[in-house]
Amino acid sequence: MAERLLIRALRGGKRTKIVTLIGKKIKKMPSTLEKLSGLKTLYLQNNLIPKVCPEIRALTQFQKLKLREFYCEGNPLLRKQPIYAVEKEEIWSLQEIASRLIMNQLAEKDSLLMQAVACYPQIRNLISRRKECAICGKYFLTMWLECVQFVPPSKSWNISRNIEVMPLQILICSYKCFSQRGSDLFGITDV
């Protein structure tokens, strides 16, 4: 059944704008879809597509397709199986240490630093890329801990109604803050 729908879509070539393969027990994201250069909307919900890496590679290829809408909820792409990971404390570079000091002093309106930084556009440019810690609210520049929090989608978001939770990227400045996080915040690590 899914094969027949795919063949029909492929026969349409560039003219195929929408492909709907919902609940077809598909176990692999169909890579032949990359041939549909006019594809705008792809529905792959409620299938059995399990592996993240090959699908991400396929998704990269999909970018060439200029997809406007892609629906993949209801597939076992995400395994919610937290594991304990060893905390590997990194040594901050001198630039990171100095940047944090300057950015956080500037946030407190340190007038001497404000005047000094005004003379150095390179520093202004560098610290404009600062990020804010979700726990302590302080700034950091290039070193952080990446976390994820699963939240119910806001009503104002333009997404499918059957999505119950969405992953949100949360950045944290240090293990000190990480140890103070809520139980619904998970660190992301390579395993």
Residue with tokens 């300057």: 102
Listed as own residue / partner, the contacts of 85-90 with beta carbons closer than 8 Å and 24 or more positions apart are 85/187, 85/189, 85/191, 87/175, 87/178, 89/175, 90/143
Among 127, 136, 148, 185, binds Zn ion (CB under 5 A): 136
The stretch among 14-22, 126-134, 145-153, 156-164 that binds Zn ion (CB under 5 A) is 126-134
Shortest reach from residue 152's CB to Zn ion, in Å = 25
Closer CB to Zn ion, 103 or 177, in the complex: 177
Q: Which two tokens stand for residue 111?
A: 């007038």
Cα separations in angstroms, 57 against 12, 53, 54, 89, 155: 24, 6, 5, 31, 31
Shortest reach from residue 84's CB to Zn ion, in Å = 22
Assess contact for 34 and 59: CB atoms under 8 A.
no
Shortest reach from residue 96's CB to Zn ion, in Å = 13
Shortest reach from residue 139's CB to Zn ion, in Å = 9
Shortest reach from residue 178's CB to Zn ion, in Å = 8
Q: Which residues, in sequence order, are CB contacts of 98 under 8 Å at separation 6+? A: none
Residue with tokens 């059957």: 162
Closer CB to Zn ion, 40 or 131, in the complex: 131
Among 135, 141, 145, 147, binds Zn ion (CB under 5 A): 135
- How far apart CA 73 and CA 17 sit, in angstroms, is 20
Closer CB to Zn ion, 13 or 137, in the complex: 137
Count the residues of the shown chain that bind Zn ion, applying the rule CB under 5 A.
5
Q: Does 133 bind Zn ion (CB under 5 A)?
A: yes
Under rule CB under 5 A, which residues in 165-184 are in contact with Zn ion?
A: 173, 177
Binding stretches for Zn ion (CB under 5 A): 133, 135-136, 173, 177
